[in-house]
Amino acid sequence: MNHSFNVEIAKKYGIEKAVLLDFFYNSLTNKNQDDKTVRNGKTYLVYSVDTLFQLFPYIKKKKIAQLLREMENKDGLLLSGQFFTLCRVKSYTFTDTAFNFFK
């Protein structure tokens, strides 16, 4: 698997966030992506930290969790929700701020 990133995002938020956001963007816009759910008119990706660690083994699990929290709470790049009662996995989607980097 190849990973890439948007240079403007990397300059503003760091390479690790840029790599994660590029992956999320490609997943959100991929019509064949299975790990999606639609809630309140927005498409969310369903990824656990463990799953993301398998996809990005060069970023530690704790760091992935920290990056997701920061992108949601500090940077305003992600929105999250827990939509499945039997599963505690969060689902993520982009804010308008994040989408604007990819226009």
pLDDT digits (tens, 9 = 90+) for 38-70: 777 888 888 889 999 999 999 999 999 999 999
Look up the pTM and report it: 0.89
For residue 76, the model assigns a pLDDT of: 97
Q: Are 72 and 79 in contact (CB under 8 A)?
A: yes
42-46 sheet: strands from edge to edge: 36-39, 42-46, 91-94, 78-81
For the domain made up of 7-100, give the CATH fold. Arc Repressor Mutant, subunit A (1.10.10)
| 2 confidence band (pLDDT: 50, 70, 90) | confident
pLDDT in tens, 70-95: 999 999 999 998 876 666 788 899 99
